[in-house]
Each structure stands twice: as C-alpha cells, then as structure tokens.
Structure 1
Amino acid sequence: MKRSQILIVVAAIVLVVGLFFLPKIVVNNEDQDSVAGTEAGAALPEGHSEDDGHDHGSAEAGAAESAHRTATPEQMMALTTARAKYNKASDEQARSLLAVELGEAYSNAAKYDSAGYYYEVAAKTRGGEKSFRRAGDAYYEAFTFAATQERAGEMGAKARSMYEQVLKNNPSDHDAKTNVAMTYIATSNPMQGITMLREVLASAPNNQKALFNLGILSIQSNQYDKAVEHFRKLVAVNPEHVEGTFYLAVALAETEQTEEAKALFNKVKGMSNDPALNTSVDEYLARLQ
C-alpha cells in the first residue's frame, strides 16, 4: 500500500472521529523518532462582536469552524442570554459565576476558544484546580481543532498556562500532563512533548491517552513498528478501543502483517456503527486484497 494512500485514509478518520491535533513539526530523539503531520479539523472562534473587547477569532477560522459544527438556534439563544447577563453584572463574584455559565454556553456550541476565555476569567477570580482544568480543557479543544499553526500555538499556550495551575496542585494528573505534552508537539520544542508522554507512561504504563498519542505520532513519522508496539499495548489494556484497534490495523498493514491487519479491520466493523469509519475500513480491506 502506498504511503499517500495511508495518509489519506488516516486523515479522513481523524476528521471523522475528531481525535486530536496532528502536528506539522518534524522532531528527532534518541530513538530516531520524528513527528510530521498535518492539521486536521477546525478552529472554533465565535466571530461575534463582544462588549468585553475579547477577540474570539478571525473570519478564516470562523469559516473552518462552520465545517466542524454549526450552533443550533437553541444554543445561540443560550449564548445570547448568558452573554447579556454577564455584561450586565457589575459585582466581581457575580461576574465570575456568570463567566462559568457563559463558558458553558460557548462550550455547548463548540466555540471552545471563547469557552476557554470565560472559564479562565472565572478561574482567575475563584481559583481552584477544577476551575483551571475546565479552562485548560476548553483551550485544549480549541488547540485540537486549530486551522492554522499560529492558532494552534496560541491555543496551546493558553491550555498549558491553565494546566500548569492544575499540575502545581496535582503533579500526578496524567490527563492534564498528556494534554500539555501534545501542545508542545506544535511548538519549536516538540521533544518536550515526547518526553512528557514517556514520563506519563513511566509512571502509568497503561495510560490509554499517552499510548494512543505516541502511537499516532509514530504513524505520522512513518515509525510503523513503534506504532504497532504502542497500539498493541493500548488494545491489550482496552480491547474495546475502536480507534486504537483501527490504527493498530493501519500500522500492521504498513509493516506487511497483512492477515492480522485484515482481521483487525474486520473487527473494527463489528465495533463501530459509524458509516464513515466503516467505509474507510472497507477501502483499506480492498487495498489489502
């Protein structure tokens, strides 16, 4: 199977399941790992006029967001109501509570950069690990769907600043650390991200998120033998991990372990009702004949 075919199918599945941001950078480490990828998904700015003067994004990013998800009339009404209440509040404590409400409205409408902004407002006023995690998660979602390298860098930096507050109180929070690691992949220091993912696995060898991310990065850098290793471990930990099973099959196909790859692709069809995913599996199976 040609590498171009592999990348086309992988990119298609990433778009379907919204897995995570695929980095553009090439890095090297002591194991000769390199990371190279493409951006997938969309930025999530609101593109509306705000009384608070916060810039929620560009027209280009707004167009990309439309391809990902369009807010329903009910969600837009909730946004309008929450924003009006926030703008009218004058007491700082009241505004912090309403900032959470407004952040939730933006998050429900998949406007994650705006959600992160208001969650951050609340976190800086109220403090607490939960508040900073909520802001970090929203910014990370915006990073995940960033339409440009610049936007990814901006949202990644925002996510890191929020997660750093979480990790100060809870250094063993592997989920936060894994997200921080992935934001570093899109910076001039991607090896810091690779190192952090390995640190997570050193502490928690069965961490599914770290295994998955390292597997994806291995595929993107054509290190298919390493991808097989990571995804085998992932599906051993969680046999029902659909994406992990799919990417294990991809990596096996690329290492010419055709029969096992076919068996796993067929298994994926039995695990998922997603028509787009199953169509991609069928395309892979046809190429393996």
Structure 2
Amino acid sequence: MKKNQIILIVVAIAVAAAIFFLPKVVVNEKDKDNFAQNENAASVPEGHSEDDGHNHGGAEAGQADVHMAASPEQVMELTTARAKYNKAADSETRTRLASELAAAYAIVNKHDSAGYYYEIAANARPGEKSYKKAGDAYFEAFSFATTQERANELGAKARGMYEQVLKNNPTDLDAKTNVAMTYIATTNPMQGITLLREVISADPNNQKALFNLGILSVQSRQFDKAEERFRKLIAVNPEHVEGTFYLGVSLAETGKDEEAKAVLNKVKTMSSDPALLTSVDEYLAQLN
C-alpha cells in the first residue's frame, strides 16, 4: 500500500473514533480539586480522581475558563447543585442530591465527575438503573481519556459499574458492549473481542457491536472481515453514516474500487460533517 493510503487509513480510524465516542470535552487526568472540603477521604471511591469538574484542561489549556462550553444557566445549576450537596446534613439527603449533582455535571459534559456522584448514589441505593447511570458516565469519560493511564482508570470504573448491572440483568447487551470496548484499550483486547462476539451471538443485528467489530477489523487490516461486518450493519440500518463510510473504506482496500466509489459518494449525501467529508474526498481521490 502507498504511504499516502496508509495515512488515509489512520485518518479514517481517527474519524471513526470521533464519531463513535461522540466527543464533547476532553477529561484531563491531572485535573484534581477538593470536591468537598469536609468530605471524609475514605468515602472517595478507589481510582477516582477526586475531580469536581473544575479546571478541566488546567495549565495545559492555558488556564481557560473550564465552563466556557456551558451556558450561564448550566453553570448556575451546577454551582447550586454542588452547594446544596456540600451543605446536606444527613446521608439520605446527600444520596438524593448526589444524583442531582451528577446530572448537573453530565449536562456540562464533566463525565468523570458525573460518574463519581452517580456511583455514590448507586452504592447508597443499589439497583440496575443506578449502576447503569454510573457506568454510562464513566464510559463517556473513558472515551475522552487523553492518556493510557487515564483510560485504564476510567475503563476500570466503568466495568465495575457495568458488572453490577450485568449481575442483575445478564441480557443488557449495551452494558456488555461497553465493557468490551473498555477491554479493547487494555493489554487484554481479546477479552473485549470475545465479549463483542458474545453480543453478536445473542443479537446478530446489534449495531454497536457490529460497528465496533468492523472498526477492529479495519485497525488490524482484515478488510475482508470489516467488509462483512459493515455490509451487515448497513443491511440492519441503511442510514448508518459511519458504517456506510467504513464499508466504502473496506471495499476500497479489498480492490472493489467501483463499488467503493458508489458507497463513498453516498456518504456525501448522508452527512455534512466536514472531517468525515474530507476523509471521503481523500479516499475518492485515491480511487480516481
């Protein structure tokens, strides 16, 4: 393969990661703050950064306003929720307010902090739904991690919450798929692939599992397998933009140039995302 084609593959994978994880903010592993000055240190869940959502980006972001992506109303809601939580005198009130504070953090896309407070609420009142909220928040934070260490930390937190979900409901395939993706980022990626295959076995039309297995095939340059996964995905959901793009990529890499052109041109009618369209145009240029 030509050097510029290899570069396109790297660009394509980056686009897929951006699309799949729906990035909103970047969580910096060095962002630490005293989220509650009088909080008992023993109550901080192991592995959490003790970050209350302040100073995301820190010095590396040029001391930029951490709430610049949030509206004034959202900032006020978060400030109010945090103040109410810190002033709560009894554990029952704090548990209730922990969920409210977590939701306020989630709105401003501070997902590690949202996970932390959802975890407090879930541990106080265990239940499938409460653990799922915590797991989902930690998974969002995991998807924004900028270092392997941070990804490992947040991935482990997400798995811990999802394991509680799966104990109560082993058929929750969304939780199982997310667990799989946290393993992909570790030194044991095969465990994640095995879980994705289990999801497909239980639900052959599971779009998230099909997409991720396809992406993993692209990353390992098994384009014939990737083509199979993305064809199946598009059969299930013809409007799946990312799946259509990667079907085109897979077809191009297996020498099916004319079909690849048709599929990639279709992507241009499905999305207005500039990064995606740039990748499409670059691939088409290689094929013409």
Coarse TM-score class (shorter-chain normalised): 0.7 to 0.9
Match for residue 257 of structure 1? Answer: 256
Match of 1:42 in 2: 26
* Counterparts of 2:215 and 2:16, CA distance in 1: 12
TM-score (norm 2): 0.85
| Stretch of structure 1 that moved more, 52-61 or 229-238 | 52-61
SS state of the match for residue 21, structure 2?
coil
Aligned to 1:196: 195
Counterpart position of 1:8: 11
Q: 1:79-108, CA deviations, whole angstroms, 9 ceiling, x for partnerless residues?
A: 111100000012212111111111011111
Structure 2 residue 137 is matched with structure 1 residue 148:
no
Contact map agreement 1:136 1:160 (CA 8 A) in 2? yes
Aligned pair count reads 266
Once the two structures are overlaid, the 10-residue window that deviates more, 73-82 or 264-273, is: 73-82
Deviates more, 1:201-210 or 1:277-286: 277-286
Question: How does the TM-score come out when normalised to structure 1?
Answer: 0.85
3-state SS in 1 of match to 2:123:
helix
Structure 1: how far apart are the matches of 2:181 and 2:275?
26
Q: Which has the higher contact order (CA 8 A, sep 6+)?
A: 1
Q: 1:44 touches 1:110 (CA, 8 Å); kept in 2?
A: no
In structure 1, what residue type is equivalent to 2:255?
A: E
Q: Deviations over 1:104-161 (max 9, x none)?
A: 1111111110000000000011111110000000000011111000000000000001
Q: 1:149 to 1:59 in 2, by over 3 A?
A: farther
Is 2:8–2:282's contact at 8 Å kept on the other side of the alignment? no
Is the 8 Å Cα contact of residues 103 and 116 (structure 1) preserved in structure 2? yes
1:212 aligns with 2:211: yes
In structure 2, what is the Cα distance between the partners aligned to 1:204 and 1:252? 25
- The within-5 A match list for 1:47-58 is 47-51=32-36, 52=39, 55-56=50-51
Deviations 1:200-249 (A, max 9, x none): 11111111111011011111111111111111111111111111101111
Q: Equivalent residue for 2:281?
A: 282
Give the equivalent residue in structure 2 for 1:162. Answer: 161
- Cα distance, 1:3 vs. partner? 1.4
Aligned to 2:127: 128
User: For residues 16-74 of structure 1, what are the alpha-carbon distances to aligned partners after superposition, in whole Å with 9 as ceiling and x for unaligned?
Assistant: x2x139xxxxxxxxxxxxxxxxxxx832676554214662289786557x89x833333
- Summarize the Cα distance change of 1:96–1:161 in structure 2 as closer, same or farther, 3 Å threshold: same
**Runs of 4 or more above 4 Å deviation:** 44-48, 57-64
Aligned to 2:47: none
Whole-Å separation in 2 of the counterparts to 1:73 and 1:255: 51
| Structure 2 gap ranges (5+) | 45-49
Helix, strand or coil at the partner of 1:172:
coil
